[in-house]
Structure 1
C-alpha cells in the first residue's frame, strides 16, 4: 500500500541562517545547505522545511518579506535555489518552503504603494483605520513583539495594523486581490518544484471585520509577555479564515503530490478545524501541544488521547507532532539531556508526521547568548519577559574545527560550550550518542509501516511510564518510555513475547522480553513482537 510522503515521512526544519555557511560571512546560505544534504539522507528524513529565504530588510530575519518571488543575496540566488531543489530531489528529499502571507515588509512595493495615498489602488491591500476622536489607535490590539499593534502614518493620517513589528504590516485578506496575488506567489514556487508550503501564522490571516477590542486576560501576570495581557478573541482565528485556507489548498492541489502545512498555536479542539470541511484545509495543521505539556507520562498520554479523539471527529485528519522549532526553546533545554532521548523516541513513534528541528539530533539545548550578541527583535523589545528566540537558532555543529565547521568566520550567534564534543563528526563515532539514536529511530520508521502509519493504542500512562502499541498488517511494536530518573518496570500484554529493537541508551538490542520489562532510569525501549 502506498501512502502520501507527507504521511509516512519525517520533516526536518532548517533555519537557513544557522545550518551551513559557504561564503564565510558567518551566516548560513543555500549553497551551504546543498553541501549538507547528504547528512539528511544519512539521517533518514524525507523532507526539508526551509525557513524564509526571500529578500528582506531582516527586521525579523526574513519574516518581513520585501519580494515573495526572489531569494535574498545573503542566502544566494534563484538559480542556487533551483540547484538546491534539483539536488534534493535527486537524493530523494522533498523541499517545503516557508510562506509568509499574513504580513509583508514595510519595504515591500505593495506597502510602499499602499501608503502613498488614501486613493492608492493598493490602499485596501493592507489594514488602514482612522484614529479614534482623541487620536488614539482604532482598538486595543497588541503586537506579538510588545506594545500596541497600530502605527500612525503621518502622510495619510491613518493607522496601519501590524500583528508583529511595525516593519511588518498585515495584509488585508478580505481583499480578493490580495488572495489572488499570494496564490500567484504559491504557483511561482510550485512551478519551480517545491513540494509544499509551511504557512506562517495561518490562524492570523483574518481579523474581526468590526475591529472590536480584545478582552483582558484574567490570568496574565507582569512576568508574562505583553501579548498575553489580552485574549486574542477578535484579532486571530476568525471563522472566515477557513475559506482562505481552503483556497490555498485548491492552489496546492492543482499540482501533484504537494503538501500544505499551517502554523497554528491553538488548543486541540480549535486546531483540528484547520483540516477544513471534508478535509479541504491544511493537510497538516501543526500540532504544538508537546511544546507546552508538562513532561510526565500521564499528561502526555492525555494529550495524545485527546488529539486522537479530535482527529476521529474530523473523519480522517492526519496527526502530526512537533517538539522544537525556531520560536520556542529546544526540547533538550526544556527536559534535559537524558530525557531528550525519551523525547526523540516519543516524537518518532507516535502516529503521524513528525517534524524534527535541526540540531535536535545532537541534543542541542539552550545556548547562552551574551547581551551584546542578542539579535532577536522580540528579546530586545521585552528583555525581561524571557521571550528570546536566539538560543534556539544557534549554528549547527558539524565538527571540532574552528567555528564547529559551520563557517570560516565567527558565526552570527554563539555555539554551545561543548561544541568540540557535541558535533556530528564526533557523535557519529559513538554508538550511544543521541545522534545515532535518532538515526536508528528514523531508519526503523522507514523499515516498518507499523511505526509510521500504523494504529496507535495506549497501554499504560502512570506518572512515570508511558507505553503504547503500534500495529499494521500483522506487525506489532510496543514502546515503553520511562519519564523518571529511577528504574521502573512495565508489563507486556499477556501472552506476548518481544525482542528489544532499540534502547534510548544505545546499548541494548536483540534480547528477548516477556512479562515484566525492566526500564532503567530515563530509558525508552522499542520492542518488536
Structure 2
C-alpha cells in the first residue's frame, strides 16, 4: 500500500513539475536554428544524469532496476537527471546566453553494475546505439528537447561513443554483460562470442598510451579493474552500424556530434564517418583527442587529424596552458600568447577549435584554484578568444570537485544572479554580435608575466581585451596600440570585473592603470557594404552537400558563390548567411568566394572530396628494413592520398601515414579514399634524416571497395 501511495505521490510531483516548468512542445522536429558554424556560439556541456530531474518516473526503470541512488551519495550510480530535466531548464540556459547544448551520451548503457556501485550513469558505456537510455527518457523525450531548443535559438550536440561498448574482464566472460552489443534490442554479439564475427579487437589492454597501435587497437583500461570492449571500425557490419546509429540521432534533429575518444580508433574511419554525416546536412562535428600537447610524440597526429578528417577537435593544447596560467601559476601570459600563436599556425581552421577551462574528465577549475577572481579571468579569456567556448555545467554556480567522479556533482542551483552567470551572459552576447571574435585574427598588443592585452579584428570590427591575473598588483599601461577608431570606449562589462574606460587617438590608447585582478573589454562594431566571408561550414565534403557561408555584407540580392572558378547553386541567401550546394568541381582544396553587388569577397579554403568515402586498410607486406626514426607513408594520384606529395606535415591532403608495424616487416594503416574508384598509389620510407626511399616498380593500381570499409594488400616492390 505504501509503495502504491509513493508512486501516486511521485506522479503528482511530476505533473506539477510539468505545469510549472514546461515549455510548449512542437509537434514536428524544428529546423536547426543556425548552421554548422559555431564560431559565435557558447556551448554548455551537460552531464544529463547530474543536471536536473524532470521526470521522477524514470529514475529506477524496470529494465535496469537498482542502479539509482536517491540519496545522491554514491557517486557512480544514477542520480535522476534526464532529458526532460534539460528541456525544462532551457529558459535558464537561454538567459545564460547559451546557444549550443552539448548533451552527454543519450544512448542505452550497461544494465548492470560494472563493479561495486559503479554504473554507466555518465553514458559512455553504450550497449545499444539505436535506443535511448531508459534513465534519460525515450526518442519522444529527445524530440521534445530538440524542438524546444530550436524554438529558443539553440542547437543541440550529442556525445557519441563509437570506440567501445561496455566493461569486460578478459579472464571472466560472465563479468557485467561481456561487452554485449545490441541493434534496437536485437542481440548482435559480445566480446567472447566474436571469433567468427570480428566485431571487436582482441589485442589485449592498452599498456603504453603513447603507442599508436596500442591506443587504437587495444582495450581501454579502467582504474576500477576492468576494460572496455574495443570495437573494430574496420569491420563492415560495425562501421555501417555506427554510421546508421549516428544518422538516426541526426534524423531526430540533432545539430552535431561530439565524438568521444577519436585518438583511440583509426583516422580513416573518422573521415569516412564525417563524409556520411555531412551528406545528410550541414552539422558540426568535434572529436575528443585528449592530451598529446605540443612537444609530445603524437602531437602531429592530432594536428593532422583535425586538418584532414573533417572533424574538429577540443582544444586540449590551450586548455593545459589556461589552467597553468590562471589556475596553478606554473606558466605566465607569454606562455598563453605563445600557445594561441602556435595553435593558430598549426590548425588550418583554428576558429573551429572548442576551448574550455575544465570538463568531465579533469578536476574542476575551482578545485585547482579557489580564487574566484582568477576563475573569472579564465572564463573571460575563453569567452573572448578564437574558437568556441564550452562551459561545463555548474560553472556559473561555482561548482568545485576533484577528478572523476567528484567533478560530476548534482547541479546545486539555477541562480541567475551570480557574477559568473552575468559574465557568461554578457560575453555570450558580445560573441553573438561582434564578428571580430567569431571570425577575426588576433594579435598581442601589450604583455608581461601577469598582463595580456590582445585584439581580435575582422575587417572593421574590433574587440580589445585586457586581463591582469595578478590579484595584488595593478599595472600602468603605456604604449598600447589598437585598431579601434578614435574615441572613448567604456568597458563592455560595465566594471563587472573592475575594468575601466579608455581613450583612443590615432591608434594609440592613452596611458591608464589596469587594476589588480581586473578584466576589461572594449569593442567596436561596424556595418559592411561589401561581402566578407568569416566561415564556411562544414569545410569538407562531396558534390551535392550543403555548406553554409557566414559573414557580413552579402546583401539581400542574390549574387554568386564560386568554388575555384566553378559556380555553386544557391540554396538560400541573406545579408549574413548563404547556403550553397557543393558543385561539380575538381577535387582537392579550393577557394570559396562570394560575389555580391559586383564586388568579390575574400576567399575561404574548402576541401572537396573526390567522391563518397570508404575507409580501407592498406597493408604493404615485406617492406625494407627500417631503423629508429624511419617511417613509412602512402601517397597516390588523388587528393585523399596526397596527389603524389611526399610532404608529411599536418597540412591538408599531404602524404598519408605514418603506417604501423605490429607484424614487422609488414606495415598497415586505415585511410579514407573514394569508394568504387580506380586509384594509383605507392609507398615510401621517410628516413630519420629526412631522405625519401620510394618502392620500385610501377604504381599499384586498384579499384577501391564500394562498401563502408575494405582491405587492400600489396607486396613492397623491390
TM-score, normalised to structure 2's length?
Answer: 0.54
- Between the aligned partners of 1:343 and 1:285, the Cα distance in structure 2 is 20
Please state if 1:180 is matched with 2:231.
no
**Counterpart for residue 409 of structure 1:** none
Mapped contact 1:437–1:504 kept (Cα < 8 A): no
Between Structure 1 and Structure 2, the one with more strand by share is 2
Q: 1:493 aligns with which of 467, 481, 484?
A: 481
Q: Where do 1:149-228 residues align within 5 Å?
A: 161-164=219-222, 166=226, 168-205=228-265
- Aligned structure 1 segments of 4 or more residues deviating by more than 6 angstroms: none
- Please say if residues 44 and 101 of structure 2, whose CA atoms lie closer than 8 Å, have aligned partners that are also in contact: yes
Q: Does 1:258 align with 2:283?
A: yes
Task: Return the offset for 1:249.
Answer: 1.0
SS of equivalent to 1:169: strand
- When residues 517 and 365 of structure 1 are mapped into structure 2, their CA distance, relative to the original with a 3 A threshold, is farther
Of structures 1 and 2, the one with the larger relative CO (CA 8 A, separation 6+) is 1
- Kept after mapping to 1: 8 A contact 2:36/2:284: no
Which residue of the partner structure matches residue 356 of structure 2? 322
Contact 1:477 1:526 in 2 (8 A): yes
CA distance in 1 between counterparts of 2:201 and 2:106 reads: 25
Pairwise CA distance, 1:503:
4.4
CA distance in 2 between counterparts of 1:288 and 1:160 reads 23
The 3-state SS of whatever aligns with 1:7 is coil
Q: Tell me the CA shift for residue 143 of structure 1.
A: 8.6
1:278-293 alignment to 2 at 5 Å? Answer: 280-282=309-311, 284-293=312-321
More helix by share: 1
Q: Kindly indicate whether the alpha-carbon contact (under 8 Å) linking 2:47 and 2:122 is maintained by their aligned counterparts in 1.
A: no
Structure 2 stretches lacking a partner, 5+ long: 1-33, 57-69, 71-78, 111-118, 168-176, 326-331, 504-508, 525-718
For residues 220-270 of structure 1, what are the alpha-carbon distances to aligned partners after superposition, in whole Å with 9 as ceiling and x for unaligned? Answer: xxxxxxxxxxxxxxxxxxxxx221111111022112220111001222543
Residues 134-154 of structure 1: CA deviation (Å, up to 9, x unaligned)? xxxx6872699xxx99xxxxx
* CA-to-aligned-CA distance 1:57-78 (integer Å, 9 cap, x gap): 2347321111111122211112
The verdict on how the C-alpha distance between 1:499 and 1:74 changes in structure 2, with shifts beyond 3 A counting, is same
Given candidates 448, 451, 470, the residue that maps to 2:456 is 470
What SS class does the counterpart of residue 98 from structure 1 fall into? strand
CA distance in 1, matches of 2:498, 2:52: 34
Q: Work out which of the residue numbers 380, 391, 401 in structure 2 matches 1:345.
A: 380
How much does 1:5 deviate?
3.0
Please, which runs of 5 or more residues in structure 1 have no aligned partner?
Answer: 130-137, 150-158, 206-240, 368-387, 400-423, 428-432
Residue 393 (structure 1) aligned to one of 396, 408, 429: 408
Provide the C-alpha distance between the structure 2 equivalents of 1:185 and 1:3, rounded to a whole number of angstroms. Answer: 22
Q: Does 2:338 match 1:302?
A: yes
For the residues of structure 1 that align with 2:511 and 2:103, how far apart are their CA atoms? 44
Q: Distance in 2 between matches of 1:317 and 1:470?
A: 12
Q: Say which of 466, 470, 473 aligns to 1:480.
A: 466
1:61–1:321 distance in 2 versus 1, CA, 3 Å = closer
Superposition deviation, residue 446 in structure 1: 1.2
Aligned-residue Cα RMSD (Å) equals 2.9
* Deviation per residue, 1:104-140 (Å, 9 max, x gap): 02533359724454644x3x111125xxxxxxxx687
Residue 52 (1) aligns with residue 105 (2): yes
Cα distance in 2, alignment partners of residues 192 and 140 from structure 1: 36
2:46 aligned residue: 14
Name the residue aligned to 1:246.
Answer: 271
Structure 2 residue aligned with 1:441? 427
Partners of 1:333 and 1:160 lie apart in 2 by 33
Deviation at 1:8, TM superposition (A): 2.2
Q: Following TM superposition, by how much is the alpha carbon of 1:465 offset from its aligned partner in structure 2, in angstroms?
A: 0.4
SS at match of 1:502: coil
What is aligned with 1:267? 293
- Given that 1:275 and 1:317 are in contact with CA atoms closer than 8 Å, whether structure 2 keeps it comes out as no
Q: Which residue of 1 aligns with 2:93?
A: 40
Q: Distance in 2 between matches of 1:73 and 1:114?
A: 21
- Which residue number in structure 2 is paired with residue 333 of structure 1? 367
Say whether residues 1:502 and 2:492 are aligned partners.
Answer: yes
TM-score of the two chains, using structure 1 as the length reference: 0.72
Residues 482, 522 of structure 1: 8 Å contact kept: yes
Larger deviation, residues 449-458 vs 329-338:
329-338
Distance in 1, matches of 2:35 and 2:365, equals: 29
How far apart are the structure 2 equivalents of 1:475 and 1:105?
49
* Structure 1 counterpart of 2:436: 450
- How many equivalent residue pairs? 417
Larger Rg computed on CA atoms: 2
Q: Distance in 1 between matches of 2:349 and 2:517?
A: 36
Please say if residues 50 and 95 of structure 1, whose CA atoms lie closer than 8 Å, have aligned partners that are also in contact: yes
